[in-house]
Amino acid sequence: MKTVVVLGGAYAGARAVQILSKGLPEGWRIILVDRNTHINHVYVFPRLAVLPGHEHKGFVPFDKLLTPTRDRDLCLHALVQSVHSSYVVLDRSFPDRGILTSELQYDYLIYALGSRLPAPLDLWGSHPQSGKTLKDAEVLKPYTGTKQDGVAWLKAHQEVIKNSESILVVGGGALGIQFATDIYAIHPGKDITLLHSRHRLLPRFDEKMHTEILDTLIACNIQVILGERLDTRSVLEGRTKFNGRGQRVIKTLQGREVAADLILLCTGQKPNTHFLSEMDPRCVNPHDGLAHVLRTMQLGTLPTSHSKEVETTPYPNIFVVGDAADAFGAIPAGHTAYYQGEVAARNILRLIRRSGLSQNKEENSSEEEPLEDYMPGLPAIKISLGLTKSAYQANGVVRTSDDGVPDLNAAAIWAFFGYEVEKDEDMYA
């Protein structure tokens, strides 16, 4: 059977599956592969890692994502081992579901494996533990990608924060800002410091965002250190330093020392593109780890001095979307990944029609239909500044609101993935 494999079922992959499931002709199937048993709604994770009682809302089942009438479509909980031009290798087979080997052949592939999250949100990384950076913490229990494991991880993170009197947040991006303001809102008595290497917060956005966020941080009595970069040598194992109070001491490159019970390293998000670079090193930029893509979101190779003006690709059947793709200046965010997933899915449907594999004569008449180009919109963001306040920028306009709710309206994403949520208990699935 002709197959479209989608690796990764978060924002980009999930949207691609929704479009493919409505448009694929007879004789085609979707196989969605994800290392998690549930969709991880990462947007709410910073809040859930601090505020108790809502952890279960960040993990949405996959089962409503696939169209029930398309029983040939599959969702597999597996780890990817390698990617090749016509097949992927998983860590196991699924004989009970008709997948007899670990090699999964495909006609088209959507690579939506995103990026590795910073340590304070990397559920697949180290287990939260007080007294060390989360990056260096000892792994207490192997993480398997289940909802139960995810909930336990977030609860452990909550306890670490609760038991730490002083907290240093390294990185003034959206994650660091949300952590700092949420910790203040939920544990107002703690000593919180935010260290950011640049002189401006969120520099890709309007300066009004920086001003609004900085004013809020100051109002929360959060110490803000701008323009100083962490000396990473001070957090390396074997170079740890503690003061007389048992606090971890780090240094900036400028020589400043900062002490805290807990250090949250909210920097260093890395694209998950190693499978692509192993398949063909020409496809991944060695400087930033991003996959090179055409405007059609098809995987390409990095331009050379001999490259043609009109770019082509040796991998017309492979699409890369989301945080893993170098998508023409698009910010790495769920909403940009969503639209990239749409473009990739629609282009696959067009390629299928163009190749004449559809049995529908009317569709075959559009065989010369050009592929769609992805065009990123203006940078947009919404960032929480405590339990109710938020700042956002859309279409170049900066505004604030004070109508937030503790769980960041997590039920909305459940509805997007096909679940009707009438009460909190519905989100324990």
Q: Residue 21 maps to which CATH number? A: 3.50.50.60
* Boundaries of domain holding 315: 2-35+78-117+270-364
Kindly state whether residue 46 falls inside one of the protein's structural domains.
Answer: no
Is 137 in the same domain as 263?
yes
Residue pair 15/81 in contact (Cβ under 8 Å)? The answer is no
Is 203 in the same domain as 158?
yes
Is 108 in the same domain as 8?
yes
Kindly state whether residue 370 falls inside one of the protein's structural domains.
Answer: no
- Summarize pLDDT for 18-68 with one digit per residue, the tens: 999 999 999 999 999 999 999 999 999 999 999 999 999 999 999 999 888
Kindly state whether residue 48 falls inside one of the protein's structural domains.
Answer: no
Is 347 in the same domain as 397?
no
Residue pair 116/104 in contact (Cβ under 8 Å)? The answer is no
What φ, ψ does residue 63 adopt, rounded to 5°?
Answer: -65, -20
Is 315 in the same domain as 169?
no
The pLDDT assigned to 128 comes to: 61
Q: What is the mean pLDDT of residues 110-133?
A: 81
CA separation (Å) from 46 to 41, 270, 417? Answer: 11, 18, 21
Is 211 in the same domain as 360?
no
Residue whose tokens read 């290497």: 197
Task: Reply yes or no on whether the pLDDT at 361 is more than 80.
Answer: no
Is 288 in the same domain as 336?
yes
Is 257 in the same domain as 399?
yes
What φ, ψ does residue 317 adopt, rounded to 5°?
Answer: -100, 5
- Summarize pLDDT for 245-285 with one digit per residue, the tens: 999 999 999 999 999 999 999 997 899 999 999 999 999 99
Is 87 in the same domain as 214?
no
Kindly state whether residue 59 falls inside one of the protein's structural domains.
Answer: no
**pTM listed for this prediction:** 0.93
Kindly state whether residue 112 falls inside one of the protein's structural domains.
Answer: yes
Q: Which residues of 365-386 are buried (b: 16+ CB within 10 A; e: fewer)?
A: eeeeeebbebeeeebbbbbbbb
Task: Reply yes or no on whether the pLDDT at 132 is more than 70.
Answer: no
Q: 175 is written with which tokens? A: 């994650």
Kindly state whether residue 345 falls inside one of the protein's structural domains.
Answer: yes
Kindly state whether residue 205 falls inside one of the protein's structural domains.
Answer: yes
Q: What is the mean pLDDT of residues 156-167?
A: 95
Chosen domain end from 336, 364, 392: 364
- Summarize pLDDT for 213-250 with one digit per residue, the tens: 999 999 999 999 999 999 999 988 778 899 999 999 99
Is 218 in the same domain as 293?
no
- Calculate what percentage of the chain has a pLDDT beyond 90: 86
Q: How many domains does the chain have?
A: 2
Is 307 in the same domain as 384?
no
Kindly state whether residue 169 falls inside one of the protein's structural domains.
Answer: yes
Is 217 in the same domain as 310?
no
Residue pair 177/383 in contact (Cβ under 8 Å)? The answer is yes
The pLDDT assigned to 377 comes to: 92
Residue pair 422/415 in contact (Cβ under 8 Å)? The answer is no
The pLDDT assigned to 239 comes to: 81
What is the DSSP pairing of strand 381-384 with strand 262-265? unpaired
